[in-house]
Amino acid sequence: MERKLNVPITSESLNELNAGDVVYLTGNILTARDQAHKRIIEEGAPLDIGGAAIFHAGPIIKENEDGYEMVAIGPTTSMRMNPYESDVLDMGPKIIIGKGGMDDTVREALVRNKAIYVVATGGCAALYVDAVEEIESVDWLDLGMPEAMWNLKVKDFGPLIVAMDSNGKSLYD
């Protein structure tokens, strides 16, 4: 099944999605890697993450006279976020985007929070950057450009494959 979702997730039911389905996202996604996840837990998120899509990515950004320009954005290995993801999911995001699998603590948190984990294809950073319409804001630049939390306005961001659904099914089993 292929489905287009608007983020932040409001009325769409993620329970209807199954591992193996393909989704495209329109709205805003937030990038967060290891250090941003750790800081979210320690200090709280700088933006409302209720219903959010969080992308495990370290984008390549070019600063210019108009602000920031997205050069490339691809997924980073999600298993590095295993120690933090369950706690972050309990704070309200509904979609986690990354690469590779995540552990059973994350699977349990996805089920508990009616959320999903979707995978982006590695090596497609140029494809994904075309779906980024605007960099709306950035927080935590003190962590470095790849570790900062970027708020991106996207249209038809994907294809993304549901790897772990909100019912506990996983493509990694």
Cα–Cα distance measured from residue 10 to residue 18, given in angstroms and rounded to the nearest whole number: 19
- Rounded to two decimals, the pTM is 0.96
Cα–Cα distance measured from residue 123 to residue 121, given in angstroms and rounded to the nearest whole number: 6
Cα–Cα distance measured from residue 70 to residue 61, given in angstroms and rounded to the nearest whole number: 5
pLDDT of res. 11: 64
Catalytic (active site) residue 56: no
Residue-wise pLDDT tens digits, 45-92: 999 999 999 999 989 999 988 889 999 998 999 999 999 999 999 999
129 neighbors 71 (Cβ within 8 angstroms):
yes
| Phi and psi at residue 65, to the nearest 5° | -65, -20
Q: Which token pair is 4? A: 């287009």
Write the CATH number of the domain with boundaries 2-9+20-164.
Answer: 3.20.130.10
Residue-wise pLDDT tens digits, 88-142: 999 999 999 999 999 999 999 999 999 999 999 877 777 899 999 999 999 999 9
Domain boundaries, the chain: 2-9+20-164
Q: What is the amino acid identity at position 140?
A: W
Q: From the candidates 31, 36, 37, 119, give the one annotated as an active-site residue.
A: 37
Q: Is 151 strand, coil or helix? A: strand
Q: Which residue has the tokens 């950004």?
A: 61
7 pairs with which residues across the strands?
27
Residues 164-173, mean pLDDT to the nearest whole number: 95
